[in-house]
Structures are given as C-alpha cells and as structure tokens.
Amino acid sequence: MKHNIAELIDLPALQNVMDALFRATGINHALLDLQGRVLTGAGWEDACTEFHRVYPESCKNCQISDQYIFNHLGCATYVGYECLNGLFEYATPVNINGAHMATIFTGQILHAKPDLARFRAQAAQFGFDEASYLESIEKIAVIPRERMPAVMEFLVELAQMLGRAGAMRQECALRIEQDKRRVAREMHDELGQLLTAQAMHVAWLDLRFGNDNPELRAKTGEMAVLLEKTIHAVRHLATSVRPAALDLGLLAALEWLAADFSQRSSILCSVDAPSGDIALDDATATGLFRIVQEALTNIARHANANTVLISLSQQGVSLRLSVRDDGCGFDVAAKRDGAGFGLQSMRERAVGLGSVLRIESHSGSGTCIKVELERAETAGSTSQA
C-alpha cells in the first residue's frame, strides 16, 4: 500500500525545525515531493523566486540543475551542484522503506563574495531589472565551501530520521488498514450470519406457534423488525469501516455507492468513468471513495438536488474525480472560514492524497467538488536554484 509523503511526515513539526535552522544558520532549505511541490521551506531567495524561476531562459538553467540533482541523488548521501545561473544548491533524498519519496534541498547559496560583473551580465542576458537583481544577489548567504559537509551531515541525518519515522507511520497505517478489513469482514460475515440465524429462529417460532398465540406472534413480529434493523445497521457500520465494494476496485465501489445513494435519497446519481477500472493502491482508492461518500452526504442534507454525476477520468498521469449536483449551490467564499465538518473532512482527505479539494459553486447553480491527483512520480523535482 502506497502513501503520500504528507501522510507519513509531521509537516508542521518539520516546518518548525526548518524555521529554527534558518534562524540559526541563515541557510535556506526546503522539503519537496517528487512532483516539485514545496512541503516545507524557509528562506527562499528573491534571486530565484523573482528572477531565475520566472524568466523562461533563466528557468531553463534551473531545470537543468533540477535534472542533474535528481539523476545523481542515488550516487551519494547528498548532491551538490552549481547551477548555470551561478548559485549553489545541495540535496539529499528522503527514502521511506527503500522508496525515494521526497528531497531536502538547501541553497541557494554562494561560496564566495558574488562576482557582480557576472550577475550584471546575466541581468542583461535574461532581461532582468539590473538594480533589483543585483540587490537580490547581494542578499544571498555566503557559506564557505568547507562548511557544507557539516551542514549536509545534519540534513542527511534529518532526512534519514524522516525516513525512519515515515516507515513507522507507513507500517502502522498498513496494520490499521488490515485491521479495518478484518473487522469489516467479521462484522459483515460473522455477525451478519449470526443475526440472520436469529431472524430465522424468530421466523420459525412464529410459524410453529404463532397461529395459536396472538401475543407471541406480536412479539416475534417486533423481534423480526428489530433484527432486520440491526442487520442493516451492522452492514452499514461494516461499510463505514471499509467498503467491501473496494475489493472490486474504485469504479465498482463508486457505482455501488451511486446506486445506494439513489435508492436512499430519491436523487438520481450516476457514474461517468472509463469502461475499464483504473488501477489504484488501496489508500488512494479508499481516500477518493470517502471524499465522494462525504460529498453525497452533503448533497442529501443541503443541496436540494435532483441529479448527481460522479466523474472519474485519467489524462496522462493525472487522475481526476468530480462530484457535480444541480442543487441550490452556495457562496464558496462565505463558506470558506466557517466550513462544516463535511467540507473540512473532504479537504483533509484530499491533502492526505497529495491534492487539493476544489469547490465550484454559486447560489442557485449547483456545486462541483473536484480532486486531481498526479499518479506517476516524475523525474524533475522543482528546486529553487
């Protein structure tokens, strides 16, 4: 079972460590996932965020740096590189159970007082505002090259510590998921079978003795109704622990969910998806299923909708999921700060999957909930050199 890096590392705590390190050393650094998203960071340099990464020609140099670092991360505990824009950057991988899942970068730094003539020429070459660009260059920390092994020793140990902590969380999450499957199946199968057997016993009592005993027939009738409600409650609880339909894939689970929702709510719900199922790891499939489940709950409670469309598609490495209704809609901006539990839960699940929940809605025009995931790990981590 695969996990997103944000599920395995305490990012707020790491951000505190990063901030403290920056205050103590003046060296900027960041943790990036394999899609180049910045998870934590401290001390970005204006030379990169305002110039190198913004202008197309200078950004090509940054991309060359990214690719060099990525290609060499497996060759040593850390990689150092002078980018073609004249700044130095270092990186060390965060490996969790043998898989490269993120990278700690430090830079952009200089090892000596900047050669302003070089950077002045660079400003002219790329079309930068010279005065602003040189001012940003003069702000960059100058760290003697001989200090970098000690700095990287700390960051390598930090990366390894994150890897160990992530591995423990991953193993714990795997055990929890296995326990959920076991509990859900035991509830559905064993407890469900026992309750069904009791219902059969009650039916036998009614058939055998009920004709001559109206009081017994009334009591067995009450018992039969209670047992039926209990069986439904157990099945619902087992599904809430882990939907058995997910064993058949996310598409099958969504089709089951849509049919069940239509039956319970009288709102027509359909699924638009590829004819073949999309292969997903269990954590991702479960997370997406829960987002749709919560969205449908919100629709039933608040939307006053007639129809709902669940869409699942894949385009390249992107997996897109949306839930659209034709209900009353709402003011997204007004709801943002006071979001209810349902919206907050969906947002948290999307973050756990490495995505962002997007909500499109206006009063009187329905609502669309969207989640987009990058499924493949790309080679070009986006650093800031």
| CATH number of the domain within which 137 lies | 3.30.450
Distances (CA, A) of 311 to 45, 321, 325, 361, 366: 41, 6, 11, 17, 15
Q: Which of 202, 217, 241 is the last residue of a domain?
A: 241
Q: What is the pLDDT of residues 3-17, one digit of tens each?
A: 677 778 888 889 998
Q: What is the pLDDT of residues 269-299, one digit of tens each?
A: 999 998 776 888 877 888 899 899 889 989 9
Looking at the 3D structure of the chain, how many domains does it have? 3
pLDDT of 200 > 60? The answer is yes
State whether 139 and 183 are in the same domain.
no
List of residues 6+ apart from 74 with CB closer than 8 A:
93, 100
CATH number of the domain that 325 lies in? 3.30.565.10
Q: Name the residue with higher pLDDT: 204 or 44.
A: 204
Distance CA 113, CA 101 (A): 35
| Residue 67, in any domain of the structure | yes
Q: DSSP per residue over 123-188, as a string?
A: HHHHT--HHHHHHHHHTS-B--GGGHHHHHHHHHHHHHHHHHHHHHHHHHHHHHHHHHHHHHHIII
| Residue 382, in any domain of the structure | no
Q: Which of 142, 173, 204 is the last residue of a domain?
A: 173
Residue with tokens 């009288």: 266
Q: What is the pLDDT of residues 122-136, one digit of tens each?
A: 999 999 999 999 999
pLDDT of 168 > 80? The answer is yes
pLDDT at 334: 67
Q: Which of 173, 192, 217 is the last residue of a domain?
A: 173
Angle among Cα 159, 46, 84 to the nearest 5 degrees reads 75
| Residue 47, in any domain of the structure | yes
Indicate the length of the chain as a whole number.
385
Q: What is the mean pLDDT of residues 179-195?
A: 75
State whether 191 and 165 are in the same domain.
no
pLDDT of 62 > 70? The answer is yes
State whether 274 and 308 are in the same domain.
yes
pLDDT at 375: 65
State whether 261 and 321 are in the same domain.
yes
pLDDT at 383: 44
pLDDT at 197: 87
Q: Which of 25-39, 157-171, 240-254, 342-356 holds the top average pLDDT?
A: 157-171
Give the residue among 155, 157, 161, 176 at the shortest CA–CA distance from 3. Answer: 176
State whether 250 and 228 are in the same domain.
no
Q: What band does 255 get if pLDDT is binned at 50, 70 and 90? A: very high
| Residue 15, in any domain of the structure | yes
| Residue 53, in any domain of the structure | yes
pLDDT at 103: 93
Q: What band does 44 get if pLDDT is binned at 50, 70 and 90? A: confident
Amino acid at 372: E
pLDDT at 98: 86
Q: What is the mean pLDDT of residues 30-41?
A: 84
Q: What is the mean pLDDT of residues 84-104?
A: 92
State whether 37 and 157 are in the same domain.
yes
State whether 93 and 114 are in the same domain.
yes
| Residue 230, in any domain of the structure | yes
Q: Name the residue with higher pLDDT: 52 or 236.
A: 52
| Residue 166, in any domain of the structure | yes
State whether 63 and 110 are in the same domain.
yes
State whether 135 and 235 are in the same domain.
no
Q: What band does 262 get if pLDDT is binned at 50, 70 and 90? A: very high
Q: What is the pLDDT of residues 320-337, one digit of tens each?
A: 999 999 999 988 876 655
Q: What is the mean pLDDT of residues 226-232?
A: 86
Q: Three-state SS for 107?
A: strand
Domain enclosing residue 319, as ranges? 245-374
State whether 39 and 154 are in the same domain.
yes
pLDDT of 378 > 50? The answer is no
State whether 147 and 24 are in the same domain.
yes
Q: What is the mean pLDDT of residues 209-220?
A: 91
Distances (CA, A) of 98 to 33, 90, 159, 164: 15, 21, 13, 10
State whether 350 and 287 are in the same domain.
yes
pLDDT at 213: 92
